[in-house]
């Protein structure tokens, strides 16, 4: 009896008191449809894309997790199947973007239709808003849709079909955009030309700001003549640029983020609904695969000029935290052999920039990489059968808290090991919630990691493992981290899709979890 009581007490301690989960009804894909993704949310409802047999459905679910409607998307035009290009919740509207390759006229057409979000009734007819001349359906170009932070502007990007390299001349890259207001009234459009040659510039992201301007982030590489000299002098051979187009007529403004002596990596931009533009990422002091620390800069929202920039440094204790003694010695030996300072592993993605009310920010990064493996087996007749395995690796999370002056107040590391194959990493990564000065991170893990201490070996999450559970890691205002089980023991086998969990306007989090052959939607309320 004593052993049973001790086991029960131990299990109870692992269940968090920081959050409560309320579940909706149990659902299954045959009768209720299969969940695809969250479209968006407002103060009254969460909107989802669902699939049911061969149909795509838009579903509105109220805050008690009851379905208000589930209506099919119009995915046919002139008896031909349309391709879904995007769904955007903008104000009180749901805007549906589709495309259709017209083989007869050698063009790829994009269509748009606006629906009332409250009941998904159409507000007008389907309209053709863009076309791409294309000879083949396999090389028909592409469309992309972006929404401004305040949801007042919509950008449609139009990419031409790829040209064969032997026919392609080196020139300045051009692309076409159309900018609309929230009701899909056209504001401006045109062909935009980048200020660099195509073979020396790589686009990384495109945004539309609240004023309708188009903001592009990319990397400019030095010319072949400069490359060898800069490499010999230990200088960076590339630099980040923020390029702004106010409209189609005016020349773009180019803002260089190339800092002498620093090798910037993975720059991410936060436009925000108001305030300055924030650019942040990581850097190294040599052209190596290690990260020395974070960089942080702010740009004036109107002029896009740099107002301030700063660089932080990860100390030895932070870098080696949660390494075993053997791993720490191996890392130090490797750095010494390469005549480098010890740094954080290079393959971190800056996932998001959380804005502080005082003008500072918290940078959230995750170690991520993927690789492929070709496995061949011999057949009895002497032949071979080969298959490709796709590996998705999502490991530690890093949070860096930066004050309004750009100084690091603290850095926190949340260790995890997620490695899956051929699943696009659906059940990996994490969801984040910010409330009351605390950051809550939610992810799938193994129960063996609940009581991790620095120096302990971190166990890998196994999707079908008997010890799999959903973990909540809480980072308080001083950077101290605590990890607990989110669910009570009877729901340990429920597995989340963290990338589809959404922080709502009322500070709750909408979640999707599968359990056995069913799935459920739920709401997390944080204390």
Residues listed for the chain = 527
pLDDT score, position 7: 38
Any domain includes 472: yes
Q: Residue range 302-329: average pLDDT? A: 84
Alpha-carbon gap, residue 42 to 36, rounded angstroms: 19
Any domain includes 206: no
Alpha-carbon gap, residue 93 to 211, rounded angstroms: 20
40 versus 301: the higher-pLDDT residue is 40
Q: Residue 5: pLDDT above 70?
A: no
Q: What is the largest CA-CA distance in the chain?
A: 80
Any domain includes 452: yes
pLDDT score, position 90: 93
**Residue where the block lists tokens 């188009």:** 214
Task: Judge whether 472 and 441 are in contact, CB under 8 Å.
Answer: yes
Q: Residue 410: pLDDT above 50?
A: yes
Domain hosting 520: range is 1-32+428-527
CA distances from 51 to 56, 82, 94, 282 (A): 5, 15, 17, 39
- DSSP assignment of 177-227: EEEEETT--EEEEEEEEEEEEGGGEEEEEEEE-TTS-EEEEEEEEPPHHHH
pTM: 0.88
What confidence category does residue 165 fall into, taking pLDDT thresholds of 50, 70 and 90?
low
- Among residues 471, 496, 247, 270, which one has the least CA distance to residue 362? 270
Task: Judge whether 310 and 446 are in contact, CB under 8 Å.
Answer: no
- Say if residue 346 is exposed, middle or buried (CB neighbours under 10 Å; 0-12, 13-18, 19+): middle
Q: Which long-range contacts (CB under 8 A, 24 or more apart) does 431-434 make?
A: 431/496, 431/498, 431/499, 431/501, 431/502, 431/503, 431/509, 431/511, 432/352, 432/354, 432/364, 432/503, 433/503, 433/507, 433/509, 433/524, 433/526, 434/354, 434/362, 434/503
Three-class SS state of 10: helix
Alpha-carbon gap, residue 115 to 98, rounded angstroms: 14
328 versus 445: the higher-pLDDT residue is 445
Alpha-carbon gap, residue 280 to 298, rounded angstroms: 9
pLDDT score, position 169: 62
pLDDT score, position 6: 37
Alpha-carbon gap, residue 322 to 328, rounded angstroms: 9
What confidence category does residue 9 fall into, taking pLDDT thresholds of 50, 70 and 90?
very low
Pull the structure tokens for residue 349.
């993605």
Task: Judge whether 207 and 146 are in contact, CB under 8 Å.
Answer: yes
What confidence category does residue 12 fall into, taking pLDDT thresholds of 50, 70 and 90?
very low
Distance of CA 341 to the CA centre of its chain: 30
Q: What percent of the chain has pLDDT over 70?
A: 93
- Say if residue 490 is exposed, middle or buried (CB neighbours under 10 Å; 0-12, 13-18, 19+): exposed
Sign of the torsion formed by the C-alpha atoms of 312, 314, 315 and 317: positive
Three-class SS state of 118: coil
- Among residues 414, 416, 423, 350, which one has the least CA distance to residue 392? 423
168 versus 47: the higher-pLDDT residue is 47
The tens digit of pLDDT for each residue in 364-386 reads: 999 999 999 999 998 888 888 99
Pull the structure tokens for residue 404.
């309004």
Q: Residue 82: pLDDT above 90?
A: yes
pLDDT score, position 213: 93
pLDDT score, position 8: 39
Q: Based on the structure, what is the number of domains in the chain?
A: 1
Pull the structure tokens for residue 32.
């209720």
Task: Judge whether 171 and 200 are in contact, CB under 8 Å.
Answer: no
Q: Residue range 250-254: average pLDDT? A: 89
Alpha-carbon gap, residue 454 to 444, rounded angstroms: 20
Torsion, Cα of 445, 447, 450, 453 (10° steps): -100
pLDDT score, position 430: 97
Any domain includes 26: yes
Q: Across the beta sheet with 34-41, what order do the strands follow? A: 34-41, 45-52, 55-62, 67-72
The tens digit of pLDDT for each residue in 425-466 reads: 999 999 999 998 899 999 999 988 998 888 888 999 988 777
63 versus 136: the higher-pLDDT residue is 63
Q: Residue 405: pLDDT above 90?
A: no
For every residue of 300-362, which 3-state class applies, written as one string? CCCCCCEEEEEECCCCHHHHHCCCCHHHHHHHHHHHHHCCCCCCEECCEEEEEEEECCCCCEE
pLDDT score, position 287: 64
**Residue where the block lists tokens 């379905």:** 67
The tens digit of pLDDT for each residue in 186-241 reads: 999 999 999 888 888 999 999 999 999 999 999 988 877 777 776 666 667 788 89
pLDDT score, position 420: 93
Any domain includes 19: yes
Any domain includes 141: no
Any domain includes 450: yes
What confidence category does residue 2 fall into, taking pLDDT thresholds of 50, 70 and 90?
very low
pLDDT score, position 379: 86
Least confident among 69-73, 89-93, 203-207, 229-233:
229-233
The residues pairing with 241 across neighbouring beta strands, listed in sequence order, are: 218, 256
Distance of CA 410 to the CA centre of its chain: 23
Any domain includes 520: yes
Q: Residue 329: pLDDT above 90?
A: no
- Between vectors from CA 468 to CA 492 and to CA 67, what angle results, nearest 5°? 50
CA distances from 135 to 163, 228, 340, 381 (A): 12, 41, 52, 43
pLDDT score, position 14: 61
């Amino acid at each position: 009896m004593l052993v049973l009581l001790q086991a029960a007490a131990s299990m109870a301690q692992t269940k968090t008191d920081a959050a409560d989960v309320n579940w909706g009804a149990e659902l299954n894909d045959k009768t209720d449809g299969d969940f695809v993704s969250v479209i968006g949310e407002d103060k009254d409802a969460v909107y989802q894309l669902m699939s049911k047999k061969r149909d795509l459905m838009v579903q509105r679910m109220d805050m008690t997790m009851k379905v208000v409607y589930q209506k099919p998307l119009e995915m046919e035009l002139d008896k031909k199947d349309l391709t879904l290009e995007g769904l955007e919740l903008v104000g009180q509207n749901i805007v549906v973007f589709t495309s259709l390759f017209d083989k007869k006229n050698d063009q790829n057409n994009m269509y748009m239709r606006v629906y009332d979000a409250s009941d998904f009734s159409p507000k007008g007819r389907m309209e053709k808003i863009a076309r791409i001349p294309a000879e083949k359906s396999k090389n028909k170009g592409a469309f992309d849709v972006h929404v401004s932070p305040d949801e007042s502007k919509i950008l449609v990007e139009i990419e031409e079909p790829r040209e064969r390299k032997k026919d392609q001349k080196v020139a300045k890259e051009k692309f076409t955009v159309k900018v609309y207001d929230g009701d899909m009234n056209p504001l401006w459009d045109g062909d935009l030309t980048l200020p660099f040659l195509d073979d020396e510039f790589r686009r990384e992201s495109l945004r539309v700001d609240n004023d309708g301007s188009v903001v592009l982030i990319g990397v400019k590489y030095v010319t072949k003549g400069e490359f060898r000299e800069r490499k010999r002098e230990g200088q960076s051979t590339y630099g980040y640029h923020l390029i702004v187009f106010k409209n189609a007529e005016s020349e773009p403004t180019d803002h260089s983020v190339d800092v002498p002596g620093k090798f910037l990596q993975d720059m991410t931009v936060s436009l925000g609904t108001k305030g300055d533009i924030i650019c942040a990422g990581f850097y190294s002091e040599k052209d190596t695969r290690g990260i020395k620390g974070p960089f942080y800069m702010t740009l004036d929202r109107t002029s896009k000029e740099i107002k301030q920039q700063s660089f932080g440094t990860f100390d030895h204790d932070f870098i080696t935290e949660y390494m075993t003694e053997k791993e720490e010695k191996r890392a130090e030996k490797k750095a010494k052999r390469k005549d480098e300072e010890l740094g954080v592993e290079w393959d971190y993605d800056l996932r998001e920039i959380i804005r502080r009310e005082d003008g500072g920010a918290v940078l959230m990064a995750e170690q991520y990489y993927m690789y492929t493996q070709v496995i061949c087996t011999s057949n009895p007749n002497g032949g071979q059968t080969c298959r490709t395995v796709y590996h998705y690796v999502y490991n530690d999370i890093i949070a860096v808290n930066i004050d309004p002056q750009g100084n690091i107040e603290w850095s926190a590391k949340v260790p995890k090991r997620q490695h899956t194959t051929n699943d696009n990493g659906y059940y990996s990564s994490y969801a984040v919630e910010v409330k009351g000065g605390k950051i809550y991170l939610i992810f799938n893990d193994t129960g063996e990691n609940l009581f991790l201490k620095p120096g302990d070996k971190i166990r890998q999450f196994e999707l079908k493992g008997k010890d799999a559970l959903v973990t909540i890691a809480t980072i308080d205002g001083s950077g101290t981290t605590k990890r607990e089980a989110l669910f009570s023991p009877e729901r340990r086998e429920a597995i989340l899709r963290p990338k589809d969990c959404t922080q709502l306007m009322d500070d709750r989090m909408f979640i999707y979890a599968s359990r056995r052959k069913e799935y459920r939607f739920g709401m997390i309320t944080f204390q």
